[in-house]
Amino acid sequence: MRLNYNYDGNIACKRILEDHLDKLKIEYHILGLSQIEINDDVSLETFEKLQLELDQYAIHIINNPKAQLIQTIKDIIVEIIYEKDKFPSTTISQYLSEKLDLRYGYITTVFSDYTYTSVENFIIIQKIERAKKLILAEKLSLTEISYELNYSSVAYLSTQFKKVTGLTPSMFKRIVDKKRLLSKKKIK
């Protein structure tokens, strides 16, 4: 028997962290997508045990300030893209600068030095990943998806979608629909 599954990586990660922090009796408060405030002093032994347990899920505690900045930038971008009401009324570059209280030139330099891609490319990739999820959910039209992701038109969404995936959104949807149909036939 084959099982298909779907998951939200952010929710899964948060749940894993909560389970392991609770198991180690560490008092904490989750601040955001990738930040936790530890309420107590934690022994080095407990901290190392937590890191070992999280390693099996490819979750790593970040100690490097620039790596922390990169993760914060990624979290802000993901938050903007996945929460419609978070889309800034200004440009994303201005929003990042204000939110981080840093010059955008510095943000982009650090980001590209550590990730080997630009902030703009990361934004596009995240938008296309969200578009794919919305297409898979089958609740919105392409026009609604382009609006949801703050694209000026369906044509612009389609152009970026094809650059990233090699497929138009319509072709992607047809492939998904065909696979779903084949899966239903196999189950019967």
Residue 175 has pLDDT above 70, yes or no: yes
Indicate the SS3 state at residue 29. strand
Least confident of 29-33, 91-95, 161-165: 29-33
CA distance 160 to 166: 9
Whether the predicted pLDDT of 127 surpasses 70: yes
Distance, C-alpha 30 to centroid of its chain: 17
**Do 79 and 33 touch, CB atoms closer than 8 A?**
yes
**Torsion 27-32-33-35 (CA) sign:** negative
pTM more than 0.85: no
Where are the domains positioned within the chain? Answer: 9-55, 63-116, 118-188
Query: Considering the domain 118-188 in this protein, what is its CATH number?
Result: 1.10.10.60
* Per-residue pLDDT at 35: 76
